[in-house]
Structure 1
Amino acid sequence: MEKEKPIELLEKIREANPLIHNITNIVVANFTANGLLALGASPVMADAVEEVADMAKAANAVVLNIGTLNEKAVEAMILAGKSANENGVPVVLDPVAAGSTRYRTETAKKLLKEIRFTSIRGNAGEIANLIGIDAKVKGVDAGDTGLDTGELALKAAKTLHTTIVVSGKTDAVSNGTNLYLVHNGHPLLTKVTGTGCLLSAVCGAFLAVEKDPVQASVSALAIYGAAAEIAREKTGGDLPGSFQMAFLDQLAEIGAEEIQKYASFEKKEG
């Protein structure tokens, strides 16, 4: 996979303006919608059980985020996910804070049983808990899995039979056979709430225009991380508020020249 692929897919997103149906948490809905708009996608944040199946059918990708759980949200996610599966729409799971409470972990595992996910994106602690590795999770922060992100992505992909995206200092993407490491990003992303949730939605936008989940996910990570690096350079400081605004601007402004310069990823032997 060369850098031309992320460039091609970003252009497709901006041309097609794919509809990304998000059932997400109350903390990040606004930031997620604005980030997708900046990138060139079209967000919808519908979560009523009466309409989610129809909305998922009409969407180009569905993103399910368990950040603020309740019984109705879980019901809506299952309805949307099954509708997406029936209509050939890719589905992304963001298992926010899986491992922090029994209810949250059991809900994530229930969704895995009910829905076929095209990809799952989370931090190391979240992904580890999905496959039975005991990693302590503090709120939405990752626990220590004892594995690097590449090893964890490969192991989880083989266990869950889907494409796994693990976020960390080095991001990793694996479908159980192929493994890519992505070296883009900036620590300031951890100082703005919702950047991981938005990344999952961005992965959905790339899946909307690319059938290969690995190529879509690597492209999403590289462009997202590159935008963060450029935003930090432009602000010249470590204040999260100014970084957040600059980051959204860079999602809108990033193009072929910046991707060629900043994108950094490599294929490893799986």
Structure 2
Amino acid sequence: MEDMSQYPLELNGDDVPMVRFMNVSKRYGDLTVLDALNLDIQQSEMVTVIGPSGSGKTTVLRMLMTLEKINEGVIYVDGKPLTHMEKNGVLVPASDSYIRSVKGDIGMCFQHFNLFPHMTALQNCIEAPIHVLKMNKKEAIERAEDMLEMVGLADKKDQHPIRLSGGQQQRVAIARALCMRPKVMLLDEVTSALDPEVIGEVTNVIKKLVAEHNLTMLMVTHQMGFARDISDRVCFFFDGKIEEQGTPTALFDNPQRERTQQFLSAVKSAD
């Protein structure tokens, strides 16, 4: 049984990270997917996670979205525990109702869009603000129209997903996530299901988010050029741990660890 007294009930101080993974482990039976991970992501920082399949990178996002329960450690968002809650002066695993109350700070865009096919782009964007945030419909529509305009799809608001290209659907998915006003945005291989000619549509929107909005972002991608262009920091994951991390220039141009060098060499050869 893990000693939870080692973990603070809240993070305090002048430099509290927006996201903190503190000794976080995740196992499936005998398989350790994340191994005592420690990772801080600062306010407005854009961090990209790269690594081979099975290295734990997507699991990091799933933990933050509370789609999976962790086995050890604590995840904090904006100084407050996400995976745990206070009880009698110590942290205990969070209840479902507690998780629902705090996970609204996190938005996620998936590889396969996950739009509701029977709803228009606008209806997709107002669904959660109305039903989760209890926003009135007029305000939700105004916010959705603003977000669709930001991603360049104001003229497509009344179209159903089947009438939109893959790039347009992914941009609607980004707008939908932004309508919830998240503090942290998670991006899971958001360009990998797209045709090459429309990838630029989505990457340009994400670059705009990074440049113009005060969002903290965590992205998993296999596109090294995109990671280099957009990131403040790149983390290379291997065997459930951060093998190496640094600025894009440092990590891509001068990797220090042999496993990082091997991975980047293999990716370059594949391109």
TM > 0.5 between the two? no
User: Looking at CA atoms only, which structure, 1 or 2, has the larger radius of gyration?
Assistant: 2
Instruction: Name whichever structure is richer in strand by fraction.
Output: 2
Instruction: Name whichever structure is richer in helix by fraction.
Output: 1
